[in-house]
């Protein structure tokens, strides 16, 4: 198809969010945009189980403050498996760069979330980024994010 959607390297997402409305809106919007939502969970234990169980995941979107613990634990589990993590949170942890590719500040628009996923994808492909979505901080070398994998 000549005018179809471009092929993405990030297709399968794990959403870890304990606010039901945010989780529902995020899942619905990303599904409508053609992403596959592997799961939407609200607990650290469930997210870690999916990650360690070998589920095919291209990117984890995780809030830091979860009802049963810290999203940092989810990010650590994903990091050990080579799965990139984007924190979606009101307060990016000081050590986030050690386990994540970036932080997107809440509240964020749908456009900024989609733009953040695109920016992570472009950076992983070694493409230069001229502008980041509002509220996004990428780690690994600033806007060019040369260190992302």
Q: Which pLDDT tens digit goes with each residue over 6-15?
A: 678 899 999 9
Identify the band that residue 135 occupies on the pLDDT scale cut at 50, 70 and 90.
very high
6 in a domain, yes or no? no
Identify the band that residue 27 occupies on the pLDDT scale cut at 50, 70 and 90.
very high
Joined together, the tokens standing for residue 4 give: 């179809």
Joined together, the tokens standing for residue 74 give: 């989810």
pLDDT for 79 equals 94
| Mean pLDDT score across all residues of the chain | 89
149 in a domain, yes or no? no
* Helix pair angle (71-80, 44-52), 10° resolution: 0
39 in a domain, yes or no? yes
Joined together, the tokens standing for residue 20 give: 């039901």
Distances (CA, A) of 11 to 16, 20, 56, 89, 107: 16, 22, 10, 22, 23
pLDDT at residue 42 above 80? yes
pLDDT at residue 142 above 60? no
Number of structural domains, the chain? 1
1 in a domain, yes or no? no
Q: Work out the percent of the chain whose per-residue pLDDT is above 70.
A: 90
Give me the mean pLDDT over the 56-69 stretch.
95
4 in a domain, yes or no? no
pLDDT at residue 1 above 80? no
Beta-carbon-side half-sphere exposure of residue 100 (alpha carbons within 13 Å): 28
- 3-class SS of residue 92: coil
d(CA 129, CA 101): 14
| Residues 60 and 47: beta-carbon distance below 8 Å | yes
Global pTM exceeds 0.95: no
2 in a domain, yes or no? no
72 in a domain, yes or no? yes
pLDDT at residue 147 above 90? no
Q: Taking Cα atoms as reference points, which of 95, 104, 102 lies closest to residue 73?
A: 95
pLDDT at residue 4 above 90? no
CATH number at residue 109: 3.40.50.2300
Domain that includes residue 67, residue range? 12-144
pLDDT at residue 143 above 80? no
Q: DSSP secondary-structure letter at 102?
A: E
52 in a domain, yes or no? yes
Distances (CA, A) of 85 to 1, 5, 37, 99, 133: 31, 24, 15, 7, 17
pLDDT at residue 149 above 90? no
């Amino acid at each position: 198809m000549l005018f179809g959607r471009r092929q993405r390297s990030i297709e399968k997402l794990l959403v870890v969010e304990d606010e039901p409305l945010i989780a529902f809106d995020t899942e619905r919007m990303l599904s409508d945009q053609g992403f596959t939502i592997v799961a939407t969970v609200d607990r650290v234990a469930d997210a870690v189980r999916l990650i360690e169980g070998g589920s095919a995941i291209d990117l984890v979107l995780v809030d830091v403050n979860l009802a049963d613990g810290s999203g940092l634990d989810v990010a650590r589990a994903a990091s050990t498996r080579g799965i990139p993590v984007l924190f979606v949170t009101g307060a990016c942890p000081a050590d986030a760069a050690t386990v994540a590719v970036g932080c997107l500040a809440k509240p964020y628009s749908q456009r900024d979330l989609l733009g953040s996923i695109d920016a992570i994808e472009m950076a992983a492909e070694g493409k230069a980024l001229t502008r980041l979505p509002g509220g996004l901080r990428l780690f690994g070398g600033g806007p060019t994010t040369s260190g992302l994998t």
